[in-house]
Amino acid sequence: MAQFSYRARRKDGQVVQGVLEVSDRSAALAQVERMGLFPVAVEAARGGGSHTAASGGSGGASGLMPAALRDLLYRQRPPKLQELATFMRQLANLIKAGMPLTGALNSMTSLDTKGIPKSVSAQLKQEVMEGRSLSGAMARQPVVFTDLCVNMVQAGEQSGALENVLRRLASHFERFAEVQSKFISALIYPAMVMAVGVVIIVVFMTVMLPKFMEIFAGMDAELPGATKFLMNVSDLFVGYWWLMAAIGLSFYIVFKRYQTSERGRRVVDGWKMKAPVVGKVVQLNLFGQFCRTLGTLLQNGVPVLNALKITEQIIPNSVIKDALERTREDVTDGKTIAEPLARSRVFPQLMIDLLKIGEETGDVPGALNNLADTYESDLEVGLRVMTNLIEPIMIIVIAGFVGFLMYAVLSAMFGMINSIGQDAA
């Protein structure tokens, strides 16, 4: 009997490690699956060791860590969109070169795919060799491969167009990565301006102003109201910073708890879509994501109900999720997509009209992809408009704060100078 070390996940995502004593690797995989776990890596043990229970215990220093900290450190993060796109494109290229699927997956274990461990490809190859389909093997690794990947790959396997589906998946993830990159880039400059402004104000209130206060304290002159207010605020910053930090942290915790509740999530997501300046950009991003995802799924042969369910899971907004859930129930009753979407009053009329045309012509995926192109183009314009609006607003607000600080200090200094001049006279 040989010993095999394994790393697996429970259904709740918790990492489990241990050692099994079995005849071969296939038996080790079967044993891990019988324990109700999803295997991530199964390798021959380098040294002897006894079987570790599936309760999550592991040897070495990691066994001394608290369970929550150990799960956080060893938790596998989902790959980024660009990393998934690279993985799918590399696999498609190997299949196009004439390799069988197992050979392509074996080659993937030696290719450098950032963000996706080689053990993922090794596990896929092992399960395909054992008779599972590629989509079935991907479904057993939900941290890496979403339902979108699994269902599209399954459709590609059934239609015999796996290579084309993998390329479409790569293009899909690349589009989303590009949109995400534009969104982040548009927020970098405003965030830097805000951070610099906050640092300037905090340094002035905690370092520079106390020195002026020492000067003011030695003078008998009456201080202006603005200066007194600023001195009180500075005392609050210096003497009770811990209380302000505790209050801020409390507000943050309360807000996050409210946001994670069902009602709070709907309220916050609804506010994001209606917020001034940024609301239009958020809507364009969500509508583009909805159209691109649903169009890609339908184009690759995924049934409409499955496609709606997957899209519902991917969209990060509870208002749209609820609308899609109601749409899916109506489509189950035999209705078209456009009609229940229109009743939700969430989606714009342009989308409803083009979807109706797509349903009449029998080309719903084409209509959705055209809509996605339109929304992504409008999003690029919207991001520029938002940035052009936010930048001057932030500069004006920060300049107002700094101007008030300067006025409060300089007015006190001028008052002191006038008082000294009058005493000298």
The tens digit of pLDDT for each residue in 294-308 reads 988 888 888 888 888
Q: Contact 59/140 with Cβ under 8 angstroms? A: no
The SS3 of residue 48 is coil
pLDDT at 353: 92
Would you say 275 and 282 are in contact if contact means Cβ atoms under 8 Å apart?
yes
Q: Please determine, for residue 43, whether its predicted confidence score (pLDDT) is greater than 80.
A: no
* More confident call, 311 vs 15: 311
CA atoms of 337 and 286, how far apart (whole Å) = 18
363-407 confidence digits (pLDDT tens): 999 999 999 999 988 988 888 888 888 888 888 888 888 888 888
| Ordered DSSP codes for 213-264 | HHHHHT--SPPPHHHHHHHHHHHHHHHSHHHHHHHHHHHHHHHHHHHHSHHH
What pLDDT score does 48 carry?
42
Distances (CA, A) of 333 to 326, 336, 393, 415: 11, 9, 50, 79
Structure tokens at 413: 């200094």
Q: Output 424 or 256, whichever has higher pLDDT.
A: 256
pLDDT of residue 368: 92
Give SS3 for 4. Answer: strand
Q: Read off the pTM.
A: 0.68
Q: Is the pLDDT of residue 123 over 80?
A: yes
The residue among 109 and 42 whose pLDDT is bigger is 109
Which pairs count as long-range contacts for 299-304, CB under 8 Å and 24+ apart, including other chains?
Answer: 299/168, 299/365, 299/369, 300/152, 300/155, 300/156, 300/165, 300/168, 301/155, 301/158, 301/159, 302/151, 302/152, 302/155, 304/331, 304/337
CA atoms of 41 and 332, how far apart (whole Å): 40
Per-residue pLDDT, averaged over 145-166, amounts to 84
DSSP states of 52-85 as a string? Answer: PPTTS--SSGGGGS-HHHHHHHHPPPPPPHHHHH
Sign for the CA dihedral angle at 340, 344, 347, 350 comes to: positive
Q: How many residues belong to the chain?
A: 425
Least confident range of 70-79, 314-323, 348-357, 380-389: 70-79
Collect all residues with Cβ–Cβ distance below 8 Å to 180 and sequence separation of at least 6. Answer: 81
312-333 average pLDDT score: 86
Which tops the pLDDT comparison, 63 or 181? 181
Q: How confident is the model at residue 53 (pLDDT cuts 50, 70, 90)?
A: very low
Looking at every residue in the chain, the average pLDDT score rounds to 80
Answer yes or no: is pLDDT of 351 > 70: yes
Q: Which amino acid is at 61?
A: A
Of 344, 353, 389, give the one whose Cα is nearest residue 374: 353
Q: Are 291 and 344 in contact (CB under 8 A)?
A: no
Separation CA 94–CA 100 (nearest Å): 9
Q: What angle do CA 22, 28, 31 make, to 5 degrees?
A: 100
